[in-house]
Copies of this chain bind each other. A is one copy, B any other.
């Protein structure tokens, strides 16, 4: 009996082992459609195919389409044109003027009794995006009988920023080494480079910055440019342009010059020559990303020049080649006289109108640094003459990195949908920020952040871990970034829920209860993380070196604004950062209409309260609780909600392949332990100021404050240790 039981288990194990999924396939799994009726319908509708592929990108698209159909349908349509035909066609831009360089149309047509599905676009890139979209429809099991889709990206720049160092360490990367094996390039081209490009193309990402903004100058040496060109060759058939982060002092570091002054003729000539050298190797090179005069990086201010002087020098070198400069607004002074939340605006707002046409200023979603929750950055809408890129971080530096299930699309959407209360940039004289005709109509005449930008940059969460992102659910953040950048919002609200649904259906299952359950987890997850880390507007209270785990007590960093105590300002009277007129007045950087919501500590929504106000521990919150009680409530609710996710996930066990189920389950166990540490450490610490008890009946902390303060983590990933 025992032996028979064992054998039964083995057979179960064997069948599961064969289907083992390690997460490598991302959302592009193309497994056979598991609904037999739908499969029959799809096979019928896609009996034949007609797809002349004449360019590298079209050949990519055709290869993808045939791979996808072979997987999903278990057969490939015959290459003829009779009835029930899938026609894929490049048409002339004259015929499809509205589509622009990247849009596409998918339509079901019936002519003379013959049914046809047409995927068409005015460019081969448009066709590629249309093909991926069509495969997405099949993967998510949508009806294809009456398709009438026109899709045009909201933003022309949809870029991944890799914070990858040339030694393959990734700054704040938690999924292994950089994909780029610089040492074996240009000869060895890993299959993964192609798979990376393919995944990006499938969600509309059209650019990639290969290296860290804290850039090594060696990236511009001939050896590395040859390696970069090899990667560009792999990415080109997927419609992806390569960009590089450059170090402003490169003319000194590798050029043998004595200065990097942007007004020095020799420096300007050096950059012109270097840029020409790049374009000789990479004709469609995208441009430079620059972090200058920020956190120790060199920049034009070293020579008494402005950010505009520095950016414009590079812009002039790139202009003949249609390249762009992306100049980061994440700057704060080395001396810090001012609330860090104010500094980017203070430095950049006066420069509006002084940048060349091909300079884009890249602004983080919030004014501090990728915290679990920040208000939108005051520069959005405040630089009407300057095209802006919205920089978001996929890598969860402050959100539990690859160990926590946190779906970031609601965070991104919260920013994109924030009303800047600034004039709409479409009416601006420069024309830079003209809302593209493709943008979906907005319900009101508000000017959301999404209407003030020309693109999105996502700090990539990709490494050489087999499942790309460490956490299977971190893949959803990569996916959602691409999808949101393509369509920054619109009819489906919240759009992030619609994207989650798409991702779940492609990644896990089309089973309605599975989709519903996972979507609920995902949509709650970011708020849960806020609750157990930084509720009620708290921010920047993490450990110093690794940004992992709590450190609200830290007070001895080299500069004040690297310290958590600088940000929460807890004392016996209360807690919070007064950024109103009685404090740093960072509030004044926003348009009056935007200020109103945060101005008064009594009407300010609870979730923003401690960002803007220092309030008493007994302040009455909108829930009726005191601040201290609400803080406790939030931290405890955060932990309880992680446990709720664990229970949901346990309930999904029979619907998910065992390897990925187990992967996620183990990560959830880490998340739960971390959430408990955040809660206990923060509440025990803040309790030393509030001097009030924890709620009656609450799970008591299992360690003392001293234990948490002394808990040392060695060799945390993502740091330079």
Contacts and interface: CB of A to CB of B under 8 A. Distances in A.
A497 interface: no
Interface stretch (A11-19, A295-303, A364-372): A11-19
A184 interface: yes
Nearest to A671: B187
Given A189-B666, A464-B464, A76 B714 contact: no
Given A53-B6, A167-B721, A176-B177, A14 B67 contact: yes
A464 B669 CA distance: 23
A191 interface: yes
A188 B666 contact: yes
A6 B51 CA distance: 11
Contact of A669 (B66, B177, B187): B187
Given A53-B6, A184-B403, A714 B666 contact: no
Given A167-B721, A659-B191, A715 B14 contact: no
Contacts of A223: 714
Contacts of A689: none
A182 interface: yes
A182 B721 CA distance: 13
A255 interface: no
Contacts of A14: 66-67, 70, 76
Contacts of A716: 183
Contact of A188 (B183, B466, B670, B714): B670
Contact of A79 (B3, B59, B715): B3
A52 B4 CA distance: 10
8 contacts: A3-B52, A3-B79, A14-B66, A183-B715, A183-B717, A187-B669, A188-B669, A464-B465
Q: Which 7 A-B pairs have the closest CB atoms?
A: A167-B715, A188-B666, A7-B79, A166-B715, A187-B669, A218-B714, A187-B670
Interface string A182-200: 1110011101100000000
A421 interface: no
A10 interface: yes
A22 interface: yes
A667 interface: yes
Contacts of A403: 184, 188
A673 B186 CA distance: 12
Nearest to A465: B464
Contacts of A184: 403, 666-667, 670
B187 A67 contact: no
Oligomer: number of copies: 2
Contacts of A663: 191
B62 A10 contact: yes
A67 B14 CA distance: 6
Contacts of A53: 6
Contacts of A70: 14
Interface of A: 3-4, 6-7, 10-11, 13-14, 17, 20, 22, 52-53, 59, 62-63, 66-67, 70, 76, 79, 166-168, 176-177, 182-184, 187-189, 191-192, 216, 218, 221, 223-224, 403, 464-466, 659, 662-663, 666-667, 669-670, 673, 713-717, 721
A76 B667 contact: no
A665 to B, nearest CB: 10
A7 B721 CA distance: 51
Given A183-B715, A183-B716, 16 more contacts: A4-B79, A6-B59, A6-B62, A10-B62, A11-B76, A20-B191, A176-B176, A177-B464, A183-B713, A184-B403, A184-B666, A184-B667, A187-B669, A188-B670, A192-B466, A224-B714
Nearest to A717: B183
A662 B669 CA distance: 40
Nearest to A401: B183
Contact of A67 (B17, B79, B221, B224): B17
Nearest to A224: B714
Contacts of A670: 184, 187-188
B187 A464 contact: no
Nearest to A167: B715
Nearest to A15: B70
Contacts of A62: 6, 10
Given A76-B11, A79-B3, A167-B721, A187 B666 contact: yes
A715 B182 contact: yes
A184 B717 CA distance: 10
A464 B17 contact: no
Contacts of A221: 714
A166 B714 contact: yes
Of A3, A59, A189, A721, most buried by chain B (CB within 10 Å of CB) is A3
Contacts of A191: 20, 22, 659, 662-663
B10 A667 contact: no
Nearest to A463: B177
A21 to B, nearest CB: 11
